[in-house]
């Protein structure tokens, strides 16, 4: 039994959290205009993008060789 599907699900949840929190911070900035909020939003959006890259290249990061037909 492999933990890779669980790991993919956990990464997906982290991506949703990062983008959701980034949007929430942007909305909070529109209400309060605190200058620190956009910085936090950009950090979490960048983390979400980084996690998308990691998820799309997970097999390479884990050291698995690509098989024919598996272009992930």
Q: 12 falls in which pLDDT band (50, 70, 90)?
A: very high
Could you report the per-residue pLDDT of 14-67, keeping only the tens digit for each?
999 999 999 999 999 999 989 899 999 999 999 999 999 999 998 887 777 766
Residue 62 to residues 30, 54, 66, Cα–Cα distance (Å) = 41, 10, 11
By the 8 A CB rule, do 23 and 15 touch? no
pLDDT band at 6 (very low <50, low <70, confident <90, very high): very high
Q: Is the pLDDT of residue 72 over 60?
A: no
pTM for this entry = 0.81
């Amino acid at each position: 039994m492999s933990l890779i599907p669980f790991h993919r699900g956990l990464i997906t949840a982290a991506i949703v959290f990062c983008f959701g929190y980034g949007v929430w911070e942007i909305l909070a900035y529109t209400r309060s205009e605190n200058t620190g909020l956009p910085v936090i939003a950009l950090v979490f959006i960048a983390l979400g993008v980084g996690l998308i890259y990691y998820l799309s290249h997970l097999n390479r990061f884990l050291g698995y060789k690509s098989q024919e037909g598996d272009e992930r």
